[in-house]
Amino acid sequence: MNQLQRLRTFSNPVRGILFSAAACYLAAACNFEGTCWGDERPNIVWIIPDDMSANFACYGETAIATPNVDKLAANGVKFTNAYVTAPVCSTCRSAFITGMYQTSIGAHHHRSGRGTEKISLPEGIELVPKLFQDAGYHTSISDWPIGGKLGKTDYNFQWDQSVYDSNDWADRKDGQPFFAQLQTKGGKLRGSHAASWEKTASAAEKKLGSRTTDDRVVLPPYYPRHPDVVRDWAAYLDSVRLTDLMVGEVVARLEAEGVRENTLILFMTDHGISHARGKQFMYDEGLHVPLVISGPSIKPGTVRNDLVEHIDIAALSLAAAGIPVPTIMQARNILATDYQPRDAVFAARDRCDETVDHMRAVRTKELKYIRNFLPNRPHLQPCAYKDAKAILIALRQWHDAGKLDSVQELLFRPTRAAEELYDLSNDPFEINNLVSDPAYATRLSEMRGRLDQWMESTGDQGRTPESDAMFDSDMAVYLHTLKIRGTASQLKTVQNNIALMKKWAAEGK
């Protein structure tokens, strides 16, 4: 029986775990030194910025200082090989809030289920905050700094907002432990044009005493040093610095309230930098994220180099609080003393806004295998969200002017290879596709098999194309939103892109 079949047959879990009668769970199973928490169960705080790769000093970034995330890592555990299972916001968030692959629960298309056509979670799947709530925890979600409404959720299915008690853990009862999700704009702070880059740089200068200058920027080899690309990256680095400052503010509040020592803090981004080869794509720029955890019984200065998936934060957080991890959950408690490290991680990209796509990837420490199910489409398919960014405009300008080298021109391939294989040890930027190299034939076959097995065993719902009804339903919501915002030019672009997607689909492209 595959995972999808299990999802359909799994009965609802027993509810109503009583906080007043919370038992002493065997903490050895969650790496917490055999401690029985009782009424002193740890608080759990997730800090999750948008659109940001692992550009922190503790991860090797040399252009900027990030003292707060670095301190968090020094006081806890840093995972160097953490990867998202989806390189775009809503699908990633739908996955980590359930501890499930988005492809297993039908949440794999970005911003789906928003219109008249709805998506419901398979029977037996609960949101992590609900499980905390049932165990007597106060649950909250907020944008930082905390404002007057619930923070970013972006889940691709029907859900009940009552799983969150409020937007601030300050609302909890005396002595009640809390589970808090803190969201921040992260890489989105830099915006998409020169004016927003300057705003971000000015904010960094005001709050931190300096801005990141262009000469500090080191770009991956597949991006040219076009002035706009460089300035954007400098602003992005300043957004990293401002995010680091926010982490320091959160820790300071916990310390001021006297709860820091009994709080497990988890820092992770929801996917990599929003760029031409990052967000929405299967390369490490879009998939590799920082993951730092600090708190009770976490040994300071620990560095973990094994492969982990972002959905694992669901299981480890529940286990840390002494809450049983549902057996159906695909996330693993990577802090457990008996945890068996993965030898591979998986990722999927499907439709993003109006842009239809279908990719799957498997990564080991040495190799990355990507399967493009729509190889006759260009790498940079039309996408109004990304095409409006000044960096994409700049890249296209230099492409048209013949100013890109052969590596940078990879962005503008009119079609894609049906398969891509990269030797990450020798090619960390994933430039040289080895699919046709006889020396890698055996390993290519192994990676194909790994991906096939994962798709089958997890019930990958992306194997069936999105229905016309669902696509049209979600596009109606998207177009309505653009109309409300009064963005006439982008509205027209999206309408044209939708028509193109349908045309290509009809042509079998």
Distance from C-alpha of 190 to C-alpha of 254, rounded to nearest angstrom: 28
Distance from C-alpha of 334 to C-alpha of 343, rounded to nearest angstrom: 13
- In the predicted model, is pLDDT for residue 470 greater than 80? yes
Tell me, what's the pLDDT at 39? 54
- DSSP letters spanning 435-473: TT-GGGHHHHHHHHHHHHHHHHHTT-GGGSPPPHHHHHH
**How many CB atoms neighbour CB 222 within 10 A?**
21
- In the predicted model, is pLDDT for residue 34 greater than 80? no
Q: Are 333 and 106 in contact (CB under 8 A)?
A: no
Distance from C-alpha of 95 to C-alpha of 414, rounded to nearest angstrom: 32
The sign of the CA dihedral 325, 330, 334, 337 is positive
Residue 222, domain member (yes or no): yes
- In the predicted model, is pLDDT for residue 1 greater than 80? no
Closest to 463 (Cα-Cα) out of 155, 104, 98:
104
> Which residue range(s) make up the domain with 218?
43-507
Residue 13, domain member (yes or no): no
Residue 24, domain member (yes or no): no
- In the predicted model, is pLDDT for residue 7 greater than 90? no
pLDDT tens, position by position, 36-50: 444 589 999 999 999
**How many CB atoms neighbour CB 155 within 10 A?**
19
pLDDT tens, position by position, 481-502: 999 998 899 999 999 999 999 9
Residue 131, domain member (yes or no): yes
All residues at 6 or more sequence positions from 162 whose CB lies less than 8 Å from its CB, including other chains: none
Tell me, what's the pLDDT at 390? 98
Distance from C-alpha of 483 to C-alpha of 485, rounded to nearest angstrom: 5
CA dihedral 50, 192, 198, 482 (to 10 degrees): -90
Domain total of the chain: 1
- In the predicted model, is pLDDT for residue 31 greater than 50? no
pTM greater than the 0.85 cutoff:
yes
Residue 325 maps to which CATH number? Answer: 3.40.720.10
Q: Regarding beta strands 302-309 and 138-143, do their DSSP bridges make them parallel or antiparallel, or are they unpaired? A: unpaired
Residue 371, domain member (yes or no): yes
Closest to 262 (Cα-Cα) out of 169, 334, 333, 126:
169
Q: Are 266 and 47 in contact (CB under 8 A)?
A: yes
Tell me, what's the pLDDT at 9? 41
Residue 324, domain member (yes or no): yes
Closest to 273 (Cα-Cα) out of 288, 261, 258:
288
Sheet architecture: strand order including 302-309: 138-143, 178-184, 43-49, 263-268, 288-294, 77-83, 302-309
Residue 20, domain member (yes or no): no
Residue 341, domain member (yes or no): yes
pLDDT tens, position by position, 141-178: 999 999 989 999 999 999 999 999 999 999 999 999 99
